[in-house]
């Protein structure tokens, strides 16, 4: 199971799972919440996504949803792995991050794995509870997972970027691939140098592995 955005990870994970007879459950934005326009946009994007991956090489993809009001990610206790890539800051802004860890724990088999990739806030910086910069403390993520019942296994620095100071004028979105140059009001700070942020590259990211204890 993966929480995805746009299909980048689906392009990698779905063929891999299909080659071994596995099944991908793709959890999308919840089409059952929000105003009518939002629901219509989500339904349209989901239909496009499903059409893009209606190909034997991707296997049979099942679909789910995640939101503050969504039901189970999949059938209880059936998932081998749950993965999320750079989503926690969004859920923090909505106030339902804890729900994700609880839902993931419920979905997994005993001994199942939870993998988390997220933009990493330096431990010396103050954590905004809404993660408005897009960055999150690694210890905070570990505490949420452990509160849901997970055991921390290991961390990898495969997605680390020591050049990222995580204090940019438009948060993580100042860096590639977004490369923001203005805030929501259209303002750009004096002396802003977009090339300097492009040189930093993409964000420094934590990559964490947790396990649901075997019964």
- The model's confidence at residue 1, banded by pLDDT at 50, 70 and 90, is very low
Sorted by where each begins, the domain ranges of the chain are 2-161+203-211
pTM: 0.93
Tell me: pLDDT of 54 over 60. Answer: yes
Q: What is the mean pLDDT of residues 168-189?
A: 96
pLDDT at position 210 over 90: yes
Q: What are the C-alpha distances in Å from 72 to residues 105, 135, 174?
A: 10, 27, 34
* Topology (CATH) of 2-161+203-211: Rossmann fold (3.40.50)
For the stretch 194-208, pLDDT in tens is: 999 999 999 999 999
């Amino acid at each position: 199971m993966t929480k995805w955005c746009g299909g980048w990870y689906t392009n990698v994970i779905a063929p891999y799972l299909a080659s071994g007879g596995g099944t991908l459950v793709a959890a999308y934005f919840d089409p059952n919440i929000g105003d009518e326009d939002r629901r219509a946009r989500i339904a349209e994007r989901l239909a496009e996504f499903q059409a893009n991956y209606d190909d034997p090489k991707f296997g049979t993809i099942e679909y789910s949803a995640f939101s503050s009001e969504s039901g189970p990610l999949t059938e209880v206790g059936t998932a081998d792995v749950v993965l999320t890539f750079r989503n926690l800051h969004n859920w923090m802004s909505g106030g339902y991050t804890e729900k994700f860890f609880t839902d993931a724990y419920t979905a997994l088999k005993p001994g199942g794995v939870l993998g988390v990739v997220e933009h990493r806030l330096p431990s010396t910086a103050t954590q905004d509870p809404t993660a408005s910069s897009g960055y999150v403390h690694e210890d905070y993520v570990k505490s949420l997972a452990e509160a849901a019942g997970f055991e921390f296994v290991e961390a990898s620095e495969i997605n680390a970027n020591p050049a990222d100071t995580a204090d940019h004028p438009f948060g993580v979105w100042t860096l590639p691939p977004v490369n923001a140059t203005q805030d929501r009001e259209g303002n750009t700070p004096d002396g802003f140098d977009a090339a300097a942020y492009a040189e930093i590259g993409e964000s420094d990211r934590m990559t964490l592995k947790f396990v649901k204890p075997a019964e």
